[in-house]
Amino acid sequence: METGRGVVLASERYGSAESWKYFAKDAVMERRRDGREGESRGNSVVGVFKSVFLPQGYPESVSDDYLQYQFWDTVQAFSSSLSGTLATQASLKGVGVGNQEATVAAATVTWLLRDGTGMLGRILFAWQKGSKLDSEAKKWRLFADVLNDIAMFMEILAPFFPACFTLIVCTAGIFKSLVGVAGGATRAALTVHQARRDNMADISAKDGSQETLVNLAGLMVSLMLIPLVTDNPMLTISLFFLFTALHLFANYKAVRSVVMETFNEARLSTVLQQYLRDRRVLSPLEANQREPVFFEFRKTVPVKLGVRLQEVVQSLEEFDLALKENNMPYLLGVRNGCVCVCLGPEASVCDELRAMCQALWLSSMLNSPTKQQQSHWEMVHESHKLMDTIFNPFIKGVEAAGWDIKRTLLDWNEWRVEWKTKSN
Q: What is the pLDDT of residues 44-78, one digit of tens each?
A: 788 788 889 999 888 889 999 999 999 999 999 99
CB neighbour list of residue 22: distance below 8 Å, 6 or more residues apart: 8, 9, 10, 11, 12, 29, 30, 31
List the domains of the chain with CATH numbers: 2-53 (no CATH), 66-257 (1.20.1250), 265-400 (no CATH)
pLDDT at 116: 87
d(CA 287, CA 314): 38
Omega cis (within 30) before 59: yes
How large is the greatest C-alpha to C-alpha distance in the chain, in angstroms? Answer: 91
Which spans in 136-258 are helix H? 137-157, 165-194, 200-229, 233-257
| Sign of the four-CA dihedral 351, 357, 363, 365 | negative
Q: What is the pLDDT of residues 23-49, one digit of tens each?
A: 887 778 888 887 654 445 455 788 788
pLDDT at 4: 61
- State the virtual CA torsion across 211, 213, 219, 220 in degrees, nearest 10: -150
Q: pTM of the entire structure?
A: 0.84
Instruction: Judge whether 396 and 288 are in contact, CB under 8 Å.
Output: no
pLDDT at 368: 74
pLDDT at 86: 87
pLDDT at 169: 86
pLDDT at 38: 46
pLDDT at 263: 97
pLDDT at 2: 55
pLDDT at 372: 60
CB neighbour list of residue 403: distance below 8 Å, 6 or more residues apart: 261, 262, 263, 271, 284
pLDDT at 292: 93
d(CA 83, CA 241): 9
- Identify residue 13 by its one-letter amino acid code: R
Residue ranges in the chain whose pLDDT is less than 70: 1-5, 35-43, 92-107, 111, 370-373, 422-424
